[in-house]
Chain A
């Protein structure tokens, strides 16, 4: 028997665990609307701010958000970055834009993709609109919206981002 054997210095022990994930009650209400092509937010009874997507509470007040508010699918760029790393299972090619977008009528932003834009021209305050997947592909998921693309509307001044009414610029 040979004495020369390779030292074992590691093992690969993959972990496969299966979880049945159930969305919370507030996210489920939101997702049911998204499935119909409608973006909604929920309003805090304490500070009256609208959260999109809702997660069940106003984090500042610690109160459940119940009141549903239908939002526009137009939004304002609150901030963004240009990413060089590809996303698994997504056809989008780097470099692409990931942006924090505040939909009209909401007081906080969510993160999503931007496309059909010149990366170098994307800027804070820019107006964008959702590009939805074809209706037959709609499911309970935010990626019913493929990405947001710039629209021809005047920029929102920085201090007004997050305060736009649902009707957008028309007050």
Chain B
């Protein structure tokens, strides 16, 4: 029943610790302008703009769509701002797609961003709340115990996380846009890095980056006219579950599994490892790769780490199901944009447009984002063919 839609333009900024040369408006405009150029379009070709970013408390700009409308050529057009915590980059892409899939608009622009150098994310993530114990745990402090439980259940060797950290940084070294450029990274270097939240070491955690990512999504007829191959949107899904409830499986959340099942069903996927050519998955801490390999059905329960260790997810090792060929969140993390970067990089793959990190012949790819206490999930499947 949904109309067919496709990604016809993608634009990103070079991810880096600090973009001191642009304001927040300049940052988003750069990504948007890049996406328009990629699509061979101009600002007037866009009918609506959908933006997303992480909590307003990061940069301290309340409801920034109000401020950014001018920079995004949105005056006189509809503007929507999505906010679903860490999965926001992904959900924003989905809401943008729904503008076209519902037949309401024919061509929209979507942007997600974070200017972390002008924000205090660590503070915003753990603002001392009255009456609560202030533990300053941050995201790492929250996820490390969950990872420990995964390690216990799966009996995975201690260095699975280290392997992921190396693999993603080697992928990132092929991607000129990636923030962390570490072509010489080794397992030993990661193992020797400072242990922050045991079992997560410094080099197993994501960086903090400035950046923006934008896409132009168009209807079937307009996509067919676009100069570069479109990435057809073959499945879209979101799921949420509460942060805490008795019996919740925090290691492999039900919401993630249900979301994957939904998007696979739409895209006709029965065996994700075999049917997909690659995946861009939100892995901000190394161990989330094996955990998500299981949660997303690429490996049976307890065996995700085996795929990692045998190199199945590595481009450099010739793996059959490369994960995060762009370098992933472990290389670049402008929080509000990270989800959209996954979705956009999946689209680049099936357009044959991923340069040195291209997965040869990729025709079907998964984009994944999650947020909150691993409770909000958004995913899409894009393909080089319409069906």
Does A9 reach chain B (CB closer than 8 Å)? yes
Q: B132: which A residues are within 8 A, CB to CB?
A: 141-142
Please encode chain A, from 148 to 171, with 1 for each CB lying within 8 Å of some chain B CB and 0 for all others: 000000000010001000000000
Residues from chain B with a CB closer than 8 A to the CB of A95 are 195, 198
Q: Does A88 contact B (CB under 8 A)?
A: yes
Q: Does B2 contact A (CB under 8 A)?
A: no
| Contacting residue for A82 out of B195, B246, B247, CB 8 A | B195
Which one, B60, B133, B138, B199, contacts A15 given CB within 8 A?
Answer: B60
Q: Do residues B246 and A98 form an inter-chain contact, with CB atoms below 8 A? A: no
Chain B residues, CB < 8 A from A50 = 246
| A99 touches B (CB below 8 Å) | yes
State A83–B201 Cα separation when bound (angstroms).
10
Asked if B242 and A79 sit within 8 Å, CB to CB, the answer is no
Give Cα A133–Cα B162 distance, bound, in whole angstroms: 40
Contact A98 B245 (CB under 8 A): no
Known contacts A80-B145, A81-B148, A81-B198, A87 near B135 by CB under 8 Å? yes
Contact at A142–B60, with CB atoms within 8 Å?
no
Determine whether the beta carbon of B137 is less than 8 Å from that of A111. yes
Q: How many cross-chain pairs have Cβ atoms below 8 Å apart between A and B? A: 108
Residues of A near B137 (CB, < 8 A) are 83, 98, 111
Answer whether A140 and B194 are a contact pair too, CB < 8 Å, given A60-B245, A88-B136: no
Number of interface residues of B (CB under 8 A): 36
B149 CB-CB contact with A under 8 Å: yes
Does A18 interact with chain B (Cβ within 8 Å)?
Answer: no
B residues less than 8 Å from A39 (CB atoms): none
Q: Compute how far the CA of A15 lies from the CA of B196 in the bound complex, rounded to whole angstroms.
A: 30
Cβ-defined contact, A85 with B196, below 8 A:
yes
> Chain B residues with Cβ under 8 A from A87's Cβ?
134-136
Residues of B within 8 A of A88 (CB): 134, 136
Indicate whether A108 sits within 8 Å of B245 (C-beta atoms), given known contacts A79-B146, A87-B136, A88-B136: yes
Asked if A59 contacts B244 (CB within 8 A), the reply is: yes
What residues of A have a CB within 8 angstroms of the CB of B131 in the complex?
Answer: 23, 27, 31, 140-142
Judge whether A83 and B197 touch: CB under 8 Å.
yes
- B243 on the A face (CB < 8 A): yes
A contact set with B: CB distance below 8 Å: 9-10, 15, 21, 23, 27, 31, 47, 49-51, 58-60, 78-90, 95, 98-100, 107-108, 111-113, 124, 140-143, 145, 158, 162
Listed A/B pairs (17) with beta-carbon separation below 8 Å: A21-B129, A23-B130, A51-B244, A60-B246, A79-B149, A83-B141, A85-B196, A87-B135, A87-B136, A88-B134, A88-B136, A89-B134, A90-B134, A98-B137, A107-B246, A111-B135, A142-B133
> When A and B form their complex, which 10 residue pairs have the shortest distance between CB atoms, in order from nearest?
A59-B242, A81-B144, A79-B145, A82-B198, A49-B246, A107-B246, A60-B245, A59-B245, A21-B130, A81-B197
